[in-house]
Amino acid sequence: MTHIDDQPTPMTFTAAPSLAGSVTVPGDKSISHRSLMLSALAIGHSRVEGLLEGEDVLATAAAMRAMGAQIERDAEGVWHIHGVGVGGLLQPETALDMGNSGTSTRLLMGLLASHDLTATFVGDASLSKRPMARVTQPLSRMGASFTSSPGDRLPLTMKGACPAVPLDYRLPVASAQVKSAILLAGLNTPGITRVVEPIPTRDHSERMLKGFGADLSVEIEADGTRIITLVGEAELQPQNIVVPGDPSSAAFPMVAALLVPGSQVTIANVGLNATRAGLIDLLREMGGSIEVINAREVGGEPVGDLIVTASILKGVEPDPARAPSMIDEYPVAFVAAAFARGRSIFRGLDELRVKESDRIATMAQGLRAIGVSVEELEDGIVIEGSGGAPLTGGGPIATRLDHRIAMSFAVAGLVSKNGVTIDDMRPVATSFPTFLPLLQQLGGMA
Ligand code: S3P
């Protein structure tokens, strides 16, 4: 997927006096991808409200269209999908362009693994560096075959198996994408597909598969291990889906409001699924004032409005076992740590090295460039906080086609002496196309 503007868009973010106002963030990215995929596999008409209209989700929509689903946009965030039924996807005529989106790629590989078709996946420079063996290995055991670029990377061509062989799989890495890929493959596979998850990860696939009528159950063992069982050859029923606001996007205004002195910001309609809400717990442990009001359920997911008030933060050393519940939020959590009192030590974050960029290295390099003292570890980072003193600032920060790096350093700019320049803000369009107007609305940009 090419960006509308093919030239990098550098931007500088400078100190904000205070942030105020009430905002909403776009729909949850994980739930948006799954809404399109599962609706495309149901027989009949599904309606989705609050869909994230970011480039990653649009890549999923284009792929599902290329394989026979009818997908139309009605109004902002409101989409209609006419599904083809489980097993009914058609051979795509051209390569599936996944842009920057690892979730589209890995989940679709699972979905197609049990279809009788051949598909080629291509992506941008960032996605083409990311490892795919974590999905090609289990999906090969189900009968699919793959021809990948060196290192199990994109471009990659896969041939699905129909019928596929059901798999009983213990996840070697805490990854919702791998779990979901196997479950999606299991939908069109005769027999029982089982995924054993020693460390819980986001459970949107399980919730939504059940909501669409699949026969799926989850058993939780005494040590917290989750065993997910799916009966194959499922028939999915079309749904009306309401997508909650993305907690991973809410993370940016949340941290900005905590850091910029005198701020108070309300972020309405934020998804609060426990498998995603780790950053809120972490920021509270650091001393952050985050109040949840209007707690409710929307579309089978817990949701609430957050009132965030500027607070003096202190350093933390979070337990690595909590990593999956805030896996995408570490970059902005590192910015909070850079402004806190004392030292923060983050460990057990090997997975951050294979995100849209190597987020440990990219954050360490960027934080140093704006005057923060950091030590990069193999599996994490040690950050010396400024104790609330403005960060020096500087740049340009190399964002390496990583939306969350760009937004994290934009937040850092709001509490800097000299401003923080980001080399390229375009990647923000993958997950949070309204980031700049939202920051402007809160008073974070001139
Ligand atoms: C996602 C799972 C996570 C997360 C990604 C979205 C999903 O990836 O980082 O942004 O929607 O399943 P991993 O499965 O690689 O941890």
Query: Ligand 1 in contact with 175 (CB < 6 A)?
Result: yes
- Give the mean pLDDT of 130-151: 98
Report which secondary-structure segment, H or E, holds 264: strand 264-271
Annotated binding site for 3-phosphoshikimate, which residues? 29-30, 34, 175, 177, 328, 355
Q: What is the CATH number of the domain that holds 193?
A: 3.65.10.10
* 387 conformational bin, left if phi > 0, alpha if psi -120 to 50, beta if neither: left
From the CA of 107, give the closest atom in ligand 1: 12
Residue 2, pLDDT above cutoff 50: no
Query: Ligand 1 in contact with 328 (CB < 6 A)?
Result: yes
Q: How far apart are CA 355 and CA 376, in angstroms?
A: 17
Question: Is 1 a domain residue?
Answer: no
Residue-averaged pLDDT of the chain: 97
What is the pLDDT at residue 53?
98
Share of the chain above pLDDT 70, in %: 99
The C-alpha torsion from 245 through 444 and 76 to 102, rounded to 10°, is -60
What is the pLDDT at residue 5?
59
End of a domain among 221, 242, 263?
Answer: 242
Question: Is 55 a domain residue?
Answer: yes
Residue 404, pLDDT above cutoff 90: yes
Backbone angles phi, psi at 373, to 5 degrees: -85, 115
This model's pTM is above 0.75: yes
- Output b/e per residue, 133-165; b: 16+ Cβ within 10 A: ebbbebbbbbbbebebeeebbbebbbbbbebbe
Eight-class DSSP state of 341: B
What is the pLDDT at residue 6?
82
What is the pLDDT at residue 135?
98
**Sequence-separated (6 or more) residues with CB below 8 Å from residue 35:** 46, 48, 51, 81, 208, 241, 243
Judgement on whether residues 22 and 54 belong to the same structural domain of the protein: no
> Which tens digit of pLDDT belongs to each residue from 163-203?
999 999 999 999 999 999 999 999 999 999 999 999 999 99
> Which tens digit of pLDDT belongs to each residue from 265-315?
999 999 999 999 999 999 999 999 999 999 999 888 999 999 999 999 999
Judgement on whether residues 159 and 229 belong to the same structural domain of the protein: yes
- Reading the block at residue 320, the tokens are 């690595």
Question: Is 323 a domain residue?
Answer: yes
Query: What interhelical angle do 204-211 and 176-187 show, nearest 10?
Result: 30
What is the pLDDT at residue 446?
79
With CA atoms as reference, report the closest residue to 91 among 1, 15, 159.
Answer: 159
Report which secondary-structure segment, H or E, holds 438: helix 435-441
Verify whether residue 423 is a known catalytic residue. Answer: no
> Which tens digit of pLDDT belongs to each residue from 48-90?
999 999 999 999 999 999 999 999 999 999 999 999 999 999 9
Judgement on whether residues 297 and 404 belong to the same structural domain of the protein: yes
Quote the domain boundaries for residue 228.
29-242
In one-letter notation, the amino acid at residue 220 is: I
DSSP string, 208-239: HHHHTT--EEEEE-TTS-EEEEEESS--BPP-
Residue 155, pLDDT above cutoff 90: yes
DSSP string, 388-416: TPPB--EEEE--TT-HHHHHHHHHHHTTB
Pocket test of ligand 1: the residue of 202, 354, 404, 431 to mutate, having most ligand atoms within 8 Å of its CB, is 202
Residue 331, pLDDT above cutoff 50: yes
What is the pLDDT at residue 4?
47
End of a domain among 242, 260, 295?
Answer: 242
End of a domain among 218, 242, 266?
Answer: 242
From the CA of 33, give the closest atom in ligand 1: 11
